[in-house]
Amino acid sequence: MKTSARELLGELLDPGSFESWDLPPIPVQASSAYRAELDVAAMKAGIDESVLTGAGMLRGRPVAVIACEFAFLAGSVGVAAAERIVSAVERATELGLPLLASPTSGGTRMQEGTVAFVQMVKIAGAVAVHRSAGYPYLVYLRNPTMGGVFASWGSLGHMTFAEPGALIGFLGPRVYKALYGRSFPEGVQTAENLYHSGVIDGVVPISVFRRIAHRALNVLCDGPQPLTEMDGDTRDFDNGVGILQAGHELRGPALQVGNDVPAWQSVLISRRADRPGIRELLRHATDRVPLSGTGQGESDRTVVHALARFRGQPCIVFGHDRAGQSPDQTMGPAALREARRAMHLAAELHVPLVLVIDTIGASLSREAEERGLAPEIARCLADLVTLDTPTVSVLLGQGSGGGALALLPADRVLAAANGWLAPLPPEGASAIVYRDTLHAPTMAARQGIRATELRSNGIVDRIVPEYPDAADEAVDFALRMVSAIAAEVADLTAKPLAELRAVRQLRYRRLGLPE
Exposed (0-12), middle (13-18) or buried (19+): which is 19, by Cβ within 10 Å? Answer: exposed
| Dist CA 295 CA 435 (whole Å) | 42
Residue 220: closest CA among 369, 89, 335, 63: 63
Model confidence, pTM: 0.89
Tell me which amino acid residue 292 is.
S
pLDDT tens digits for 407-444? 999 999 999 999 999 998 999 899 999 999 999 999 99
E strands in 47-175: 51-58, 61-68, 99-102, 137-141, 145-146, 159-162, 168-169
21-67 pLDDT, tens digit each: 999 999 998 999 999 999 999 999 999 999 999 999 999 999 999 99
> Which residue, among 70, 96, 92, has the nearest Cα to 81 in the 3D structure?
70
237 vs 389: which has the higher pLDDT: 389
Backbone Cα Rg of the chain: 26
Residues 6+ apart with CB under 8 A from 124: 152, 153, 156
Please say whether the beta carbons of 123 and 86 come within 8 A.
yes
pLDDT tens, position by position, 468-504: 899 999 999 999 999 999 999 999 999 999 999 999 9
pLDDT single digits (tens) 55-101: 999 999 999 999 999 999 999 999 999 999 999 999 999 999 999 99
Q: Measure CA 376 to chain center.
A: 17
- 210 and 58 Cβ atoms separated by less than 8 Å: yes
Q: Which of 123, 131, 125, 117 lies closest to 53 in space, CA to CA? A: 123
- Tell me how far apart the alpha carbons of residues 444 and 261 are, in angstroms, rounded to a whole number: 12
